[in-house]
Chains A and B, each alone.
Chain A
């Protein structure tokens, strides 16, 4: 097919975006791919980049901290992804009810999501403080001696997971919009047939919002594997590497140890891991995601 002039106009229109993509995403990605096979301490400038082939990857697979960070990240993702999805869906269902002042509740649940992660983290450091924190104070009222949440290696990761529930506002909003697109008449018809609330939720609501679940799940997986800010601010990987998330380890390698090549190799491994999990979800989606107007397929 011959390209017409109007094609070029189209490219011209997307030029700013295209340039941005090439310069700030594709370019750096290719550069980091190159670095993954090189040794570079960053301080001495680009001329000192040294090609080392697969050395970085070989070293990574013998690196204890790599496995530790992988373990932390997997535990976090495995628990937090389903947990956050269920919690936010539940809250979204509640927020979808018709009652007075619902907008206020929606605001309340969404609000934490607009606060910068660093500020949120600082606040939670105070909440988790074993001496003065309100969490242990509250536990104290029930006679429970709360642990040193962030200073105890057996609690720190759990504390971060619990804290994350507080920030699921974005997911809630997306679920809420999904819920609102579920046709009312379906519910009414089912109700006439004698279906209860729970039955209706599982047989109507859930299938109808399955594309939303699908989207949130993928975003959740990506976000879970790339967890960084809170751990960086609150625990910096400690105590005893119990919150050494993959991305945090990557950052430390790059900007504390100045091993750019090693860090780039780490980032590509993470990329592959996330890609695999995302693909699994996408492949499995044909079994559980239902698109309206897709009926003739079954």
Chain B
């Protein structure tokens, strides 16, 4: 009896409640706001726990002080339930006025029409210019020619290495002119076996698609065409198949240098393995520092290697603030959006090096003083857009590609066969 109806029950409760509330609450609310001296109430949300978002609370408090006629409330949502909670609250018309979206979902929310385009607000506002932000970030947040999001923070992918493991093996740290082949050669020296059991790995070639994208790009190929409308010839293109075969071989067979995704999962994931000196190198976002700094692992960062022809690529993961298109006070929400993404906010969040500032001037400052993060920041210059940032169809590509990779990595299907099937599925779903 329990589970089946639980979801529909909860959902409908939300809807019924929303209907009831909007029906009886609407009028009184409107008249209330028109009355002089009434404060405009706004809410905004992020994913994560309250402790991690102390800065946002501080920004909210300061905003309230600076805007006597607006009262802002900050309501963070735990990361696991964020998407579901935001979606149901949007459906019920109870969503926050300003919310945070991750780069993988930028297109999705715009397509659903729940995010307000900012262009009109920006053009009327002469005091505020998008030029203060990193151009790449603003570009990513520009969907179909319109600006929908403003940056909160961002994390470029980079190569992270475990210094202790390199020292023990007597190897030089990864250099910035490495090619992928050099990385793999070095990984072989860092991979250790006891009996027939692997105990330490040189590199993690996992199933997460972002590092795979960079690997594919560096090998001159991609899973989709430029505007994300076709998979045939890309996802299963000759170059892609060859590159994926090479990539998969990293975690399989005699010469393996990487844990299989199963191994990695059972050993707690790549960052846990890295922290316990079981993994020497991984490609991941800068957020990993938060975990690494809690442990006593000695680590460094380097540029992601290049392909044979010198191509180097990266991806910038980012979080963007959006205005609820169905909010009641969008002009005020715009003020809040500016406050949360502007220079002061960027300064506050990057104060202790936790995140990189999304604004140009502040990032220059960080660049001048920072040593450990230099390669990470430099990786920004090589950033490319994954298919999810190029096309509304992005999720379809990702879903089919992930499914194919899972089959390949579990040795249920050969690379060519799995990718052929995936490409066919994507193209038939798009049409």
Contact = CB atoms under 8 A, between A and B. Distances in A.
A240 B407 contact: yes
B412 A153 contact: yes
A250 B7 contact: yes
A85 interface: no
Contacts of A31: 8, 12, 15
Contacts of B266: 129-132, 148, 151
Interface stretch (A76-84, A202-210, A221-229): A221-229
A32 interface: yes
Interface size class of B (residues with CB under 8 A): 35 or more
Interface stretch (A175-183, A187-195, A252-260): A252-260
Contacts of B407: 240
B412 A254 contact: no
A131 B261 CA distance: 13
Given A23-B16, A148-B266, A45 B90 contact: yes
Nearest to B12: A28
B11 A28 contact: yes
Nearest to A35: B8
A229 B9 contact: no
A41 interface: yes
Interface in A141-178: 148, 151-153
Given A151-B266, A153-B410, A240-B410, A260 B11 contact: yes
Contact of A29 (B8, B83, B113): B8
B37 to A, nearest CB: 32
Contacts of A42: 11, 87-88, 90-91
A43 interface: yes
B7 A251 contact: yes
Contacts of A270: 4
B90 A43 contact: yes
Contact of B5 (A23, A25, A238, A256): A25
Given A226-B3, A239-B410, A267 B8 contact: yes
Contacts of B8: 28-29, 31-32, 264, 267
A242 to B, nearest CB: 10
A267 to B, nearest CB: 6
B429 to A, nearest CB: 12
A44 interface: yes
B406 A239 contact: yes
A45 B1 CA distance: 28
A247 interface: yes
B5 A46 contact: no
B262 interface: yes
A32 B4 CA distance: 11
B262 A151 contact: yes
A226 B9 contact: no
Nearest to B92: A45
Contact of A27 (B3, B16, B112, B412): B16
B360 interface: no
Nearest to A227: B3
B87 A43 contact: yes
A288 to B, nearest CB: 24
B27 to A, nearest CB: 19
Contacts of B261: 151
Contact of A44 (B9, B18, B84, B113): B113
Contacts of A228: 3
A24 interface: yes
A137 B412 CA distance: 27
Nearest to A232: B3
B132 interface: no
Contacts of A105: none
B130 interface: no
A174 to B, nearest CB: 15
Contacts of B18: 46
Contacts of B90: 42-45
11 contacts: A42-B11, A44-B114, A45-B326, A130-B266, A148-B266, A151-B261, A153-B412, A227-B3, A250-B7, A254-B7, A271-B4
Given A28-B8, A44-B112, 10 more contacts: A25-B9, A31-B15, A32-B8, A129-B266, A153-B410, A240-B406, A255-B7, A255-B87, A271-B4, A274-B4
Shortest 9 CB-CB contacts between residues of A and residues of B: A28-B12, A151-B262, A32-B8, A43-B112, A42-B91, A226-B3, A28-B9, A228-B3, A31-B12
